[in-house]
Amino acid sequence: MDGPQPGARELLDATRELADRVWRSHASSDVRATVAREVRALSERLGPFEPGAPVRTPIGGVLPGRGHPLLPPIVHAGDGDRVIGTVTYTDAHAGAGEAVHGGQVTLLFDEVLGAVAGTAAPSRTASLTVHYRSLTPMGVPLTVEGWVDRVDGRKISVRGRLLDGHRVCAEADALFVAVDDWA
């Protein structure tokens, strides 16, 4: 679903596919140089549409990962007092071996727990601690959960976890601070 921006999902998916292929490519230096020139040319085609664009574009709310090509394609929904989502990491998110890079797990938690904190008040991340419990696999649907633990004035404490079935891959604790505006 593209919502009000036809073609947005297709562009997002193509961008993520490119990132996957760049990460796993064993192309020759000549091929890499040619592709780099082509990617720069494509990037320049989008340049005229950039001035004045907001940090959060209109396509973001309806696309996996808010339409951001660096975020893993996560789809989430509310479930009572929790946000529960599904995410499948790809090759572009790889760390050492065939596991997800820990920084990608942290990025996921900042995204999901930020959405959770946002149910209490508009807020910004003050701190985020991730506890890695087991390797996070790529290429399989994972469940991510987040919930508000407590609210104390402007402080919003949230918690979350990332699961491969019943196996806990990571848990997170975060503190968000309510803000009056997003600037």
- pLDDT interval class at 97 (50, 70, 90): confident
Supply the mean pLDDT for the chain.
Answer: 84
Alpha carbon distance 92, 87 (integer Å): 14
Q: Is the pLDDT of residue 66 over 60?
A: no
What are the beta bridge partners of residue 171?
Answer: 131, 161
Domains of the chain: 71-178 (3.10.129.10)
Q: So what's the pLDDT on residue 5?
A: 67
DSSP reduced 3-state for 85: strand
The DSSP secondary-structure symbol of 122 reads: S
- For the sheet containing 82-87, what is the strand order? 74-79, 82-87, 142-152, 155-164, 167-178, 123-132
- What SS3 class is residue 134? coil
Whether the pLDDT of residue 139 is over 50: the answer is yes
How far is the C-alpha of 140 from the C-alpha of 89, rounded, in Å? 7
21-48 pLDDT, tens digit each: 887 778 888 998 898 899 889 888 877 7
Q: At 146, is the pLDDT very low, low, confident or very high (cuts 50, 70, 90)?
A: very high
* Percent with pLDDT over 90 in the chain: 45
- pLDDT at position 58: 47
Q: Determine the Cα–Cα distance for residues 139 and 121; give it in Å rounded to an integer.
A: 34
Residue 65's pLDDT is: 55
The answer, yes or no, to whether residue 84 has pLDDT greater than 70, is: yes
The pLDDT of residue 136: 97
Give mean pLDDT, residues 144-161.
97
pTM: 0.76
Taking a C-beta distance cutoff of 8 angstroms, is the pair 84, 76 a contact? yes
Q: Binning pLDDT at 50, 70 and 90, where does residue 61 land?
A: low
As a dihedral over the C-alpha atoms of residue 104, residue 120, residue 164, residue 127, rounded to 10 degrees, the angle is 40
pLDDT value at residue 101:
93
Cα 18 from Cα 13, distance rounded (Å)? 9
